[in-house]
Structures are given as C-alpha cells and as structure tokens.
Amino acid sequence: MAKNTSSWQIYRDWLATQMGVDEERKTDVYLEISQAATLTDAAYWFQLVFAAGIATIGLVLSSPAVIIGAMLISPLMGPILSLGLALATGDFVLLVRAIANLTISCLVAISFAILLIFTLPFKEATSEILARTTPNTLDLGIALFSGAIGALATCRPIKGVITSIPGVSIAVALMPPLCVVGFGIGMGFSLNLAEGLQISKGGGLLFLTNLVAIAFASTLVFLGLNIDTENVRQRAKLWESSDHESLAVQNFLGSYKFLQKLRPIGSLPSRLLVGFLAILALLVPLSSSFAKLGQEVSLKQQQNALRRNAISIWQDRFSNFPNKQIRSSIERLSITEKDKLVTVKLNVFTSKLYSDAEKEQYIQQLANKIDKVPQQIQFTLTEIPTATNELLVKKEEVIQPTVPLPPSLNELQINLLQSLNKAIADVSFPPNMQLVDYAVSIGNSQAFLINIAYLSDRPFSEDAQALVMRDIQKRLGVSEAKVSFDYISTAVSEIIFDENTATIPTNANANLDQIGKLLQLYPQLNLSVTISLRDLENNDLKKSYFQAIATYLASKWQIPKQQLNVIQSVSLDNLNSINPSQNSKALLKITLKRR
C-alpha cells in the first residue's frame, strides 16, 4: 500500500511539473480560489446581477450574441472551483463558504431574472430559452470537459492558456440556465403555471448538471496536480486564521457539537464516491432526454433517406422524355412515414400529364427501393401544366359546369383599376397640387408599387408625401404599398425671340424637347404660351411665335395643337426696367396646366 501511495504521489508531482505548477503556484492558486468564495466582495455581486440582467434580456430577445456576453462576465465559475478544491483537499471551512456563496448567488440571479420578467410586457418562450430546457447526457460531457480545462487554466501560470477561460465560460453557460429558471417562475405566476414550472425544471436541471460536473472534474484536476501539499495546507490555514469569513465559519462550527463531527468530511475515496454518485443520479433524467434526442435524429435520418430516394427515382426515370428532353421538374415534395405507411405528396411542373400506369410504376419502383410493398405507399401527384394544347384540353374535360370560372386577367385588371381610381380620387392632396397620372406595378417580391405624377409650382415636403402615402395605403387596404412621386413644375420654360423674327433660338431647343417629352408622356397636360410684345412690334408676330413653337413640337414630338394654348399678349412698355439687356427682343413664357 505504501508503495502504491508513493507511486501515486510521484505521478501527481510529475503531472504538476509538466503543467508548470510549482509549490509557489499551488499556494497562490489555493489562496485565489479560497478568496473567490467570499460573500463580501461588492464587485462580485454587481457582476453577478449585471450578468443575470444581460442573460435574461438576451434570452427573451433570442439573441445568441447577448447571451454569450452574459456568459463571459458571469463570476459563477469562481465559487464552483472553490467547491471542487474543497472536495479535493477536504477543507470543510472552504466547503461551507463555497456552498453558501453558490446558494446565495443562485437566489440573487434567479430573483433578479424574475423581477425583469415581471416588468416585461411579453413573456413568450423563445428558441434560446427552450434550447436550455431539455439537457441530455451530452451536456454532462461538455460540463465535465469544461470543468477540467477550467481548473487546469486556473492552476497554470498565466500564459497562452489564459485564452481557455472565455471558452470555458461560453461552453458551460452557467448564468443562462439560472435565468431560464427565473423566466419560468415569472411566466408561471403571470401566464401559465404548468408551462412555467416545466421551463424552470429544465433550466434548473441544466444548471445542476453544469455545477456537479464542473465541481467533480475540477476535484479530479486538483487531486492530479497535488494541490494540497503540507506546505500549501499550512499557508492556507494561516490565511484562514486572518480571514473574517473563515473565522466566522469556524466559530459557527465550534458552537454546535454535531457540526464538529462533520468537519472531517470523510476520506478521499468517500468524497470521490459522493461526486460519482451525484453524476450517476444526474444520468437518470439526462439519459431520457438523450434517448429522445436519439430518436429524433434517427427519425430525421429516415425522412432524409426517404426524401432522397423519392427524388432520385423521379429525376432518373420520370422527369425526362425518352429523347432526354425535360418533361417535368419537382416544385415541392412532402414525404412522411407513420405506422409503416409512407405518404408521398409530389408537386411537379410538367409539359405532359402522367398516366395512371406511370404513377403505378413510380410507386412500384419507390417501394422496391425502400423495402416496402406498393400498398404501403400512398402517392399523390399534383401536376402543374407548363404548355397548352393537350394539357388544356385534358384540363377542360375535368372541369365541372357548375364550378364558376375564375376571373380573366382582363377582368382582374379592370377591377383593380376601378378600385385604384376610386381610392386615389378620394385622397386629400395638398391645395397647390394637381394629379396628372399614376402608374401601378407589382414586382417579383410581390411588392405593390404606385407612382404618382403631379403638377405644382413647387414640390411638396416629405411630411406631406408621407401623409398622402398613408392615406392611399388606408384607402386601398394595402399597408405595405409603396408610393413614389414625380414632380412636374408648372413654369417650365421661357423663350426670348430676337426682334421681328419668329425663328426659335437654338438655346431653346433643349427646353422645348423637355416640354415635348412631358406632353407626349402625359396627353392630359396643356401647354400655355404667354407672349409679351413691345408696343412698337407688330401684333401679328404673336401668331408667328406660337406657330413656330407648335410646328417644332408637332414635327419632332407629334404634339397636336389641341394641347397648345396661347394667352393674350401683354404689353411690355416697361421691358427696359425688367431686363434692360433684352429691350429689342420679345419674351415668351411657357407654362403647363392640366385640362
């Protein structure tokens, strides 16, 4: 036995040396972990409350990024490692302090989560919450590995392994399960008690799994590194003799005789047995969830295999003509299996309808592929024609005369335009705005788009546009309708003719082209021409000016004279005072009006 003990001691010392954990580092680790189980560190409690708040809100919002942030700042790993160290070293004082810290920490986190849930107006269980209500054996394995690496990262000197700590915090996720417990309690008291308790039960089981597994794994690591040498124990006792919390625990234990009997918490095999039994106890509820998960995965695999077989048989043998030309394509496939009966629902686009014999052939080939008899396959084929002639003739043969025909595209268009005309006619537009025309389109994304062209002396503001758009949406009953506006100015151009000549200046062609485009696009617009002549000029020039503009627009833009109006000329005796540089020229002002 002494030889075995010596071999075990040599192995532990060798492992500690390989991990870079010397005697000084062991002392530092022991004291740091012991100090982590304190109840008087205000920073610890602030960090705990903030982590609980972030995790609760992240769970309600179903935001993985926010939940990960709460995992990283959660301080619960410290007291759990203290629990593992106490079990490894048999330090009963540290064990009591760790249990007290964890108990109060859990109560604070759960209470704060309940308080937040009561203040929120919505209490729906999100996917992130439900994901933490069904822990299984895999979660236990993750917690065991995470506890071991967390203990190793804590014991080793600060080097590259410091990057392991955030990963451990994310992997074990200690804070979110506690907040799920708080969410379930809050939901149970405010909405559904049974559902809330079920959620709390699942979250509590996940937290307990993580707690027990991390404590047990860290116990094994601390034992393997021989963290409790005689020198370390003496240094730890010296620190406990000066620590107020440790002294308070010692005084409390000394006040009751039955507690003094608990102080030697058993031999190392006994402590390990307790931890092992706790793991086994957790395996009972976790295994049932794991078995259920296995059944779900197996069922999903079977469905995927059925789906692949159904698709491959159709594509290889039925989707093409004998000359390899495409006959059909799969639009949707639904396949389920229940009580050995396979139900297949297949929607295809096809240029030639399938016969009953072809359908029976498909059922036979699928049955052979999946080891079924044809009677165990219920096959429904929905064919969507992609051509006319034969397909349309066959479709007409099955139409019952009593069934009303759907409205034609032309009838749908007329009904839509009537509804739009009535809705837009009732819209309250700004006083200075005249509706010219509107256009409606429906995009590939099924977005309803309305473009309105209006005539005004100035464009109206974004606020006015928003009011008009909401009014149109309300009258059409389409809240997602998008409305855009095209502004057409009433004052479009001015043309200055040289004295006693009706030739259009070259610099006016661009303006007249713009006017021509507008009149061609919107036939309901009229062009009004105001001709201003000097008193000394011949009044007949007015007709020449107007005729020149009308001829230009008719020849280049096919604008009829009915869209052009001339307004009585205005005398410009004071033209010099208006524009002295143009005192020898006639001025034409061109404006747009709606008929």
CB 543 within 8 A of CB 551: no
Lowest mean pLDDT among 245-249, 462-466, 513-517: 462-466
Taking only Cα atoms into account, the Rg of the chain, rounded to an integer number of angstroms, comes to 43
CB 590 within 8 A of CB 493: yes
Q: How confident is the model at residue 533 (pLDDT cuts 50, 70, 90)?
A: low
Residue ranges of E strands in 416-480: 434-442, 448-456
Per-residue pLDDT tens for 280-294?
Answer: 888 888 888 777 767
User: Are 301-397 and 409-489 the same fold in CATH?
Assistant: no
Portion of the chain with pLDDT greater than 70, in percent: 81
**More reliable by pLDDT, 423 or 363:** 363
What's the CA gap between 54 and 47, in Å, rounded?
Answer: 11
**More reliable by pLDDT, 354 or 592:** 354
**pLDDT computed for residue 492 by the predictor:** 67
Q: How confident is the model at residue 580 (pLDDT cuts 50, 70, 90)?
A: very low
CA atoms within 13 A on the CB side of 263: 14
Of 469, 430, 429, 464, nearest to 451 by C-alpha is: 469
What's the CA gap between 347 and 331, in Å, rounded?
Answer: 5
**pLDDT computed for residue 2 by the predictor:** 46
Give the tokens for residue 525: 């617009």
Of 21, 2, 5, nearest to 13 by C-alpha is: 21
CB 133 within 8 A of CB 203: yes
End-to-end CA distance of the chain: 114
Residue 183 has pLDDT above 90, yes or no: yes
Per-residue pLDDT tens for 365-404?
Answer: 888 888 888 888 888 888 888 754 444 444 444 444 555 6
Give backbone dihedrals phi and psi of 124, rounded to 5 degrees, phi first.
-85, 140
Averaged over 570-574, what is the pLDDT? 48
Q: In 3-state terms, what secondary structure has residue 1?
A: coil
Instruction: Assign domain 409-489 one CATH number from 3.30.160, 3.30.300, 1.10.10, 1.25.40.
Output: 3.30.300
Give the number of other CB atoms < 10 A from CB of residue 102. Answer: 19
Residue with tokens 């109006």: 565
**pLDDT computed for residue 388 by the predictor:** 45
Residue 588 has pLDDT above 70, yes or no: no
- Note the residue count of the chain: 595
**pLDDT computed for residue 548 by the predictor:** 79
DSSP annotation of 426? T
**More reliable by pLDDT, 472 or 391:** 472
Average pLDDT, the chain: 78
Averaged over 299-319, what is the pLDDT? 84
Per-residue pLDDT tens for 126-174?
Answer: 889 988 888 888 888 888 888 888 888 888 776 544 444 555 556 557 8
**pLDDT computed for residue 582 by the predictor:** 41
**More reliable by pLDDT, 4 or 43:** 43
Q: Is domain 301-397 annotated with CATH 3.30.70.1350?
A: yes
Instruction: Assign domain 491-594 one CATH number from 3.30.56.10, 3.30.43.10, 3.30.1330.60, 3.40.1110.10.
Output: 3.30.1330.60
User: For the chain, which residues make up each domain, given as ranges?
Assistant: 12-265, 301-397, 409-489, 491-594
Provide long-range contacts, Cβ within 8 A and 24+ apart, for 498-503: 498/584, 498/585, 499/537, 499/584, 499/585, 499/586, 500/537, 500/538, 500/541, 502/541, 502/544, 502/545, 502/547, 502/548, 503/548
For the chain, the 3-state helix, strand and coil shares in percent, each to the nearest 5, are: 60, 15, 25
H or E, element range at 224: helix 193-224
What's the CA gap between 236 and 27, in Å, rounded?
Answer: 8
What does each C-alpha distance from 460 to 256, 372, 437 come to in angstroms?
86, 71, 17
Q: In 3-state terms, what secondary structure has residue 299?
A: helix
